Amino acid sequence: MPEPPERPLIPQMHLDELLCELHARLEDALSTRDRIHSLLEAVVSIGSDLDLATVLRRLTEAASHLVNAKFAGLGVVDSDGRFIEFIPVGISDEEAQRVAHFPHGEGLLAFPTDQRRPLRLSRMQDHPNFHGFPPGHPHMTSFLGVPVQVRDEVFGNLYLTDKNDGGEFDEDDEAIVTALATAAGVAIENARLYEGTRQRERWLSASTEITTRLLSGVAAEEVLGYLAQQAREMADADIAVVMLPDAADGHLVAEIADGPLAKEIVGTSVVIDETRCGAAYRDGAAVDIPDLRHADCLMLSHRGFRPGLLIPLGTPDHTRGVLLLGKAGVRAPFHPSTRGMLDAFSGQAAVALELAEARRDAERLVVLEDRDRIAKDLHDIVIQRLFASAMTLMSTLRLIDDPEAGDRVRRAIDDLDETIREIRSTVFALQNPPAPQEASLRGRILAAVEDATRTLGCQPGVGLDGPIDAAVPEGVGEQLLAVLREALSNVARHARAAEVHVRVAADGELTLEVSDNGVGIPPQGRRSGLRNMAERAAALGGAFSTSPREAGGTLLTWSVPLPEA
């Protein structure tokens, strides 16, 4: 029986090729379907939220996932084409710390904005405009940049670099990212509208609250604290500091702070001259600080803050202080709209400071009127009655035959005279109060005596006579305080006294007397301190002496002439 002829293998090979091609096309179709599904899911995810920061972050992460990119970034541009915000994806915290600053949208990164079309490169270093990456930026090779448009406006650019599988970006990658960017434009527009509305509502609410607190008489510190908190939250900052000038107008002092490091910052200061903080205070104009680490604002320079913003409190002609805001880490600078909002806040802060000052002036006026009334009552009523009592006692002395009774009456008359002198001294002090924020000479004398109490081991007696605050010039007062401190120091070190008395009188001349019941001045003791006190008196045309007391101890007398009134 004849053998059947063998079937040729060629048709079978053609069928295998066709099946393989069909399988490849099916895989491509499935891959395309999966990518379309992923794109739709990404669009739904982006559009499901109205928070602008969340929308932008989801857009960047979705683009990275869709094309399997290792790194992704979204740069939000301003009217000049520069980045006002940059959102990185795929960069670790350590890599971010090594980056000097986030990109500014120059060179290669400006291409999608300028040309309004995608740019795809297998090696971006070969592009003629390869620059615009900050120092410390991670090394990258392949590149895909796509503009994100909101209507006819370029909102920003999406950047993808280095695929995870080591390949290059292809036309499909470009198409799917372009589709994602186009769809995201609507979500971004909605989020921007919502963000603007929410910011206006928060601003109005905060403004109303601040106005209510101002009108209700709340302390300026509380109002400024609330303002700093609201400013930090609405500007998305990490720290807010209210800096006010010191009494000498030479430093700005951090009076109020809001944020994680507030307690460490409050009380620190910065020099006004030749610093950016001082420039904002002097010129009354806002100042942007790209990187606080390299600024002359010491209170924030070494604490990890980078973008900063200085807002003057008040008008350019009358600046009351400065509001300093800072962001930690590699973050975008403050948006121009934030500056406009904070300008309005600064006006309210200035009003709070104005009202606080007016309130202090009103309270001081009330105190001064009270002091004047008390001084008049003491002078016109109390002193006159005491004087009349002393005169009556003096006329009664002729009628007293008992010597002991006479001595008692004389001591009572002397006590009345001493009381009248002390009341007159009080009247002078009431009628000539110290200037605001300055310690009176009387107060500084009492403070010097109080400071010496611990080393003396006893509480010194103090007597102050005459118009000490009104009649004693500042320079003479400083000399008096130096002599008083030196005298009390000598008593504490050498006298071993149980009682110390200090008397200061101003009546044509300024006299200081310091007496103690100690061991006295030894004949061979060191006298450098006494010589200094004598030289101070001689320099002012006065006199200095020390003498032993009858009851034991030493009497030190230092006196200088006072200028005629």
Per-residue pLDDT of 306-362, as tens digits, reads: 888 888 887 777 788 888 888 887 677 777 777 777 777 677 667 766 776 777 777
pLDDT in tens, 243-295: 888 877 788 888 888 888 888 888 888 888 878 888 888 888 888 887 787 77
pLDDT score of 544: 94
In 430-561 the beta strands, taken as DSSP E runs, fall at 461-465, 500-506, 509-516, 543-548, 554-561
CA dist., res. 42 & res. 64, Å (int): 11
Task: Tell me the pLDDT of the chain averaged across its residues.
Answer: 79
Provide the b/e sequence for 264-285 (b: ≥16 CB within 10 Å): ebeebbbebeebbbbbbbeebe
Looking at residue 501, its pLDDT comes to: 92
Query: How far apart, in Å, are the Cα atoms of 83 and each of 98, 99, 335?
Result: 19, 16, 10
Q: Exposure of 153 by Cβ count < 10 A (0-12 exposed, 13-18 middle, 19+ buried)?
A: exposed
Residues of the chain with pLDDT under 50: 1, 9, 436-437
Residues 6+ apart with CB under 8 A from 420: 383, 386, 387, 390
Identify whether the C-beta of residue 122 lies closer than 8 Å to the C-beta of residue 102.
Answer: no
User: If we measure between CA atoms, which residue out of 93, 101, 51 comes closest to residue 75?
Assistant: 101
| pLDDT attached to residue 502 | 92
- DSSP per residue, 291-324: -GGGSS-HHHHTTTEEEEEEEEEEETTEEEEEEE
Cα 156 from chain centroid? 34
Q: What pLDDT shows up at residue 429? A: 67
Q: What is the pLDDT of residue 512?
A: 94
Conformation bin of residue 67: beta by default, left when phi > 0, alpha when psi is -120 to 50: alpha
pLDDT at 31: 56
Note every long-range contact of 168-174, with CB atoms under 8 Å and residues 24 or more positions apart, other chains counting.
168/122, 168/142, 169/67, 169/69, 169/120, 169/142, 169/143, 169/144, 172/32, 172/35, 173/66, 173/67, 173/120, 173/144, 174/118, 174/120, 174/144, 174/146
CA distance 233 to 199: 11
* Cα separation values, 484 from 43, 416, 508, 556, Å: 82, 28, 20, 10
> For residue 41, what pLDDT is reported?
67
CA distance 356 to 227: 15
pLDDT at 13: 58
Q: What is the pLDDT at residue 515?
A: 93
From the list 160, 90, 89, 156, the residue with the least C-alpha distance to 121 is 160
Going by the DSSP 8-state scheme, the letter that residue 328 receives in this structure is E
